[in-house]
Structure 1
Amino acid sequence: MGNSPVVLEYANNYQAQVVDLILQIQQQEYNIQITKEDQPDLSAIKDFYQTGNGNFWVARYNDKIVGTISLLDIGNQEVDLRKMFVDKEYRGKKYKTAALLLNNAIKWAKEKSIKSIYLGTTTQFLAAHRFYEKNGFENISMEELPENFPVMQVDKKFYKYRVD
């Protein structure tokens, strides 16, 4: 396998690794007190994300899941970017995992004629803020979100990406 992870559509056989990766980053790295039970979407990824114009992808390096990203269909040709997590060792220029995941999701959105991608994030993910801004996401206020955008309790900072 080359130096870059491969982005694949989510399949159920990835579930345990996906949950482990996300919880490890949330709990250990960012000290966010959140459990698998607090995130019922993680137990039903196919039903929750892979419907309508939504999807869920994993970045795989050899046999290890090293990143995740999803688009949740929120109607009106708009999606919510969620569950973007990359293993600490696979961040940055060497592997470009986050860029591979995001570019894959944007390509999907274009193919599905999505108008806008929205996302909410916590204030402590500073590197993520820089990454999104560098990749064309505009910082917006909560009032600018579509009314059907599912704001999570931890979301305090919001972004919009115009696909067209």
Structure 2
Amino acid sequence: MAEIEIRPFADGDADDVLSVILPIQREEFGIDITADAQPDLRVIPDFYQSGKGQFWVAVKDGVIVGTVGLKDIGNNQAALRKMFVAAEVRGREYGVAARLLERLFDHARDAGLTDIFLGTTDKFVAAHRFYEKNGFVEVAKGALPRAFPLMAVDSKFYRYKVG
């Protein structure tokens, strides 16, 4: 089994990150979205790797196969964004999603964050199960902090209490 490395986003990763995320959004889930509609992905260091935020990539055989971002939204709270894992490395065998989330949780504890919020769409049913299994609890849209970066496609929201 090939080793999967989880590391922070680095200069030069931007195109590879898009090549993981866009096909999942567009082809698997039929969401009509472009790279231009996600400007945060062109400025990952400024958008995610500031304050208490960070952005990680999962790498297999030198190729990025997974992503997750943590956006500092102030008040010791953060938003989980852009969690994507390429189809060929999904599931327990590789544990890519679980390892990305574990790294994010470790960082959140070390950074002194108290809550992590996320928004997702109704279509991502497997993702809902994954988040719920990992301690996220569904919350109403009205329970989100004002600083939470709402996405038009999001219709389901979760909160994780960092312990």
TM-score (norm 1): 0.97
Q: Which amino acid aligns with 2:111?
A: K
Q: Does 1:39 align with 2:41?
A: no
Q: Which structure 2 residue ranges, 5 or more long, are not aligned?
A: none
TM-aligned CA deviation for residue 3 of structure 1: 3.8
Q: Which amino acid aligns with 2:101?
A: L
Q: Which amino acid aligns with 1:20?
A: S
TM-aligned CA deviation for residue 4 of structure 1: 3.9
Instruction: Give the length in aligned residue pairs.
Output: 163
% identical equivalent positions: 48
State the partner residue of 1:158: 157
Q: Which amino acid aligns with 2:17?
A: V
Q: Secondary structure at the match of 1:74?
A: strand
CA distance in 2, matches of 1:14, 1:147: 31
Question: Which portions of structure 1, spanning 4 or more consecutive aligned residues, are displaced by more than 4 angstroms?
Answer: none
Q: Which structure 1 residue ranges, 5 or more long, are not aligned?
A: none
TM-score (norm 2): 0.98
Q: CA RMSD in A?
A: 0.8
CA distance in 2, matches of 1:21, 1:119: 20
CA distance in 1, matches of 2:106, 2:3: 18
1:63-74 paired onto structure 2 within 5 Å: 63-74=62-73
Give the direction of change, closer, same or farther, for the CA distance of 1:95–1:4 in structure 2 (3 Å limit): farther
What whole-Å deviation, never above 9, does each CA across 1:81-114 have from its counterpart, x for those lacking one?
0000000011101100000000000000000010
